[in-house]
Amino acid sequence: MLTRKQHELLVFIDRHLKATGFSPSFEEMKEALNLKSKSGIHRLISALEERGFLSRRHNRARALEVVRLPDDLAARVSGESDIAPQAAPFAPNVIRGDFSQRLPGVKAAEAAGAVQLPLYGRIAAGLPIEAMRDTTNHVEVPISLLGAGEHYALEVAGDSMIEAGILDGDTVIIRRTESADNGQIVVALVDEGEVTLKRLRRRGASIALEPANPRHETRIFPADRVRVQGRLVGLLRQY
Q: Which residue has the higher pLDDT, 73 or 219?
A: 219
Look over the chain and give the mean of its residue pLDDT values, rounded to a whole number: 76
State which amino acid sits at residue 205: A
State which amino acid sits at residue 28: E
- Percent of the chain whose predicted confidence (pLDDT) is above 70: 74
Lowest mean pLDDT segment, chosen from 20-24, 72-76, 145-149, 195-199 = 72-76
DSSP 32: H
Q: Which residue has the higher pLDDT, 27 or 183?
A: 183
**C-alpha span between 231 and 134 (Å, rounded):** 19
| Residue 145: per-residue pLDDT | 74
Residue 57, φ and ψ in degrees, nearest 5: -90, 100
Lowest mean pLDDT segment, chosen from 68-77, 151-160, 161-170, 199-208 = 68-77
| 3-class DSSP assignment, residue 193 | coil
pLDDT in tens, 64-99: 888 888 776 655 555 544 444 344 443 433 333 343
Hey, which residues are catalytic here? 160, 198
Mean pLDDT, to the nearest integer, of 122-135?
54
Residue 128, φ and ψ in degrees, nearest 5: -70, 160
Mean pLDDT, to the nearest integer, of 29-38?
85
Q: Which residue has the higher pLDDT, 61 or 199?
A: 199
How far are the Cα atoms of 20, 69, 102 from residue 105, in angstroms, in the given order?
20, 37, 9
Mean pLDDT, to the nearest integer, of 133-151?
76
Mean pLDDT, to the nearest integer, of 202-221?
91
For the chain, domain boundaries:
4-90, 99-236
| Residue 23: per-residue pLDDT | 80
Q: Which residue has the higher pLDDT, 87 or 22?
A: 22
| Residue 235: per-residue pLDDT | 87
> Which pairs with CB-CB distance under 8 Å and at least 24 residues apart come from 130-136?
132/195, 135/105
Q: What is the CATH number of domain 99-236?
A: 2.10.109.10
Report strand pairing: 185-190 vs 226-236.
antiparallel
Q: Which helix (H) or strand (E) holds 54?
A: strand 54-56
The DSSP annotation for 95-161 comes to --S-HHHHSTT-EE-SSTTEEEEEEEEEE-BT--HHHH--TT-EEEEEGGG--SS-EEEEEE-SSTT
**C-alpha span between 110 and 48 (Å, rounded):** 38
| Residue 130: per-residue pLDDT | 52
| Residue 200: per-residue pLDDT | 95
**C-alpha span between 165 and 225 (Å, rounded):** 27
Residue 84, φ and ψ in degrees, nearest 5: -45, 140
Mean pLDDT, to the nearest integer, of 41-69?
79
Q: Identify the architecture of domain 4-90 in CATH.
A: Orthogonal Bundle (1.10)
> Nearest CA to 92 among 209, 14, 203?
14
Mean pLDDT, to the nearest integer, of 131-142?
68
191 pLDDT exceeds 50?
A: yes
206 pLDDT exceeds 90?
A: yes
Is residue 145 within 8 Å of residue 196, measured between CB atoms?
Answer: no
Mean pLDDT, to the nearest integer, of 18-47?
83
170 pLDDT exceeds 70?
A: yes
| Residue 115: per-residue pLDDT | 81
